Amino acid sequence: MDKIKKAKLLKNLYYQKWIGYQYIDPINIENNHKNISLPNSLEKLKEIVKNCHLCDLSKTRKNVVFGEGNPHAKLMFIGEGPGATEDEMGRPFVGRAGQLLTKMIENVLEIKREDVYIANIVKCRPPNNRVPTEEEAKTCMPYLIKQIEIINPKILVALGSTSYRYLTNDTTPISKIRGEIVKYKDKILIPTYHPSFLLRNPSKKKEAYLDLLKIKSLL
């Protein structure tokens, strides 16, 4: 049994325990995928994620950063993972990069931050803000996929190369793919630069601005 299947099985068992089961029938993970499910409620999903210990990031986190915003948002932003400020507060994009993202949403898209939904590939801060490992990202991805399914946005915005890669399995550099319309299941996905990258490379803000104008026109 590979690590992804093990992670899905453990998620299912955590959920069964959380809703009160003390015993369940044996699960055949190979043949009975219906048993491997997450709740169709953001609040119930959040409770499961808050108690997740499926990867080593749970050992060093202060808070799980589940995501926030309009649960019926047409637009969903997906970053890489929480930083130090996010880990302290338990909220996504509240540090310097988050302040820039808020300005991008409110000043360019001309919508309120609370009217979009914001989440990350991983829900716990990688130590020293390093890039999540493949194992960490793939273990956490079922939570994000379920969030997307529940919220059902029209447009997904992948903030940075890590977000884009794990959503699409495409390793094209973000500089080559940014601003392009990519199909993600029945949705539109548009990759652009991560706000933290823009803080380090302000000359790229114009390109990100053009990406946001395209998103605005699609909305």
Residue-wise pLDDT tens digits, 96-142: 999 999 999 999 999 999 999 999 999 999 999 999 999 999 999 99
Please name the helix (run of DSSP H) or strand (run of DSSP E) that holds residue 44, with its range, or none. Answer: helix 42-50
pLDDT in the model for residue 5: 63
On whether residue 68 sits in a domain, the answer given is: yes
pLDDT in the model for residue 37: 81
On whether residue 161 sits in a domain, the answer given is: yes
On whether residue 14 sits in a domain, the answer given is: no
pLDDT in the model for residue 18: 56
> How many C-beta atoms surround the C-beta of residue 175 within 10 A?
12
Residues of the chain where predicted confidence (pLDDT) is lower than 70: 1-36
On whether residue 32 sits in a domain, the answer given is: no
The CATH number of the domain holding residue 80 is 3.40.470.10
Segments forming the whole domain that contains residue 136: 38-218
pLDDT in the model for residue 193: 98
On whether residue 62 sits in a domain, the answer given is: yes
> How many C-beta atoms surround the C-beta of residue 24 within 10 A?
11
pLDDT in the model for residue 24: 46
On whether residue 80 sits in a domain, the answer given is: yes
pLDDT in the model for residue 7: 64
Q: 150, 151, 196, 147: which is closest to 167 by C-alpha?
A: 147
| Total domain count, the chain | 1
